[in-house]
């Protein structure tokens, strides 16, 4: 099994699309990152865990799953780096390869010492873009290969049939 642990705010601060959002719509930037990681997870089959730093925020650690991506907000007085190091210790074993996505140089050395591998924010972004491009190409290819109806039908009728096919009324 392959596990990818993502330092969420590190990606948000580095990826151009998310960096633009963070100053005025931080929650939207987080949600967009999670969506991108969900697409990455669905395509690669990797287990993806996104960690957001809640250092200095009152409260306990919060975990949830969104689109099959595990999302963790650290507990009070715990940094994302500390939580990532704990996660590496928890999931790393002989059968599991762990990657940590961060551009934090100090954190990269720490996770190396724990037996994990690293991906920089830039490397992960390039992978995400490549996957998005491959998915787009696959969809376009599938659409061109779909058989056309031998009986000409209006757009309204085709939409009604599609709705029925999907279980709608």
pTM equals: 0.77
- Quickly count helices (H) and strands (E) in the chain: 7, 6
Q: In what order do the strands lie in the sheet with 69-73?
A: 62-66, 69-73, 47-52, 2-7, 97-101, 117-119
Query: Does pLDDT of 26 surpass 60?
Result: yes
Domains and CATH numbers, the chain: 2-133 (3.40.50)
**Confidence (pLDDT) at 149:** 64
CB atoms within 10 A of CB 40: 20
pLDDT band at 146 (very low <50, low <70, confident <90, very high): low
The residue behind tokens 């720490």 is: 110
Tell me if 100 sits within 8 A of 89, measured CB to CB.
no
Per-residue pLDDT tens over the stretch 6-16: 999 999 999 99
Higher pLDDT, 34 or 155: 34
43 exposure class (CB count in 10 Å sphere: 0-12, 13-18, 19+): middle
Average pLDDT over residues 69-89: 88
Contact 135, 39 (CB under 8 A): yes
């Amino acid at each position: 099994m392959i596990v990818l642990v993502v330092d969420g705010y590190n990606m948000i601060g580095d990826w151009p699309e998310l960096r633009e959002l963070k100053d005025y719509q931080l929650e939207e930037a987080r949600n967009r990152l999670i969506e991108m990681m969900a697409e990455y997870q669905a395509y690669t089959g990797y287990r993806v865990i996104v960690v957001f730093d809640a250092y200095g925020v009152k409260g306990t650690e919060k975990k949830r799953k969104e689109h099959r991506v595990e999302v963790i907000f650290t507990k009070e007085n715990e940094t994302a780096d500390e939580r990532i190091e704990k996660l590496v210790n928890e999931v790393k074993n002989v059968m599991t390869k762990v990657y940590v996505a961060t551009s934090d140089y100090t954190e990269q050395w720490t996770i190396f010492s724990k037996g994990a591998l690293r991906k920089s924010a830039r490397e992960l972004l390039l992978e995400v873009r490549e996957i998005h491009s491959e998915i787009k190409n696959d969809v376009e290819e599938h659409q061109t290969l779909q058989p056309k109806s031998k009986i000409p039908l209006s757009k309204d009728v085709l939409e009604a049939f599609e709705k029925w096919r999907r279980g709608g009324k």
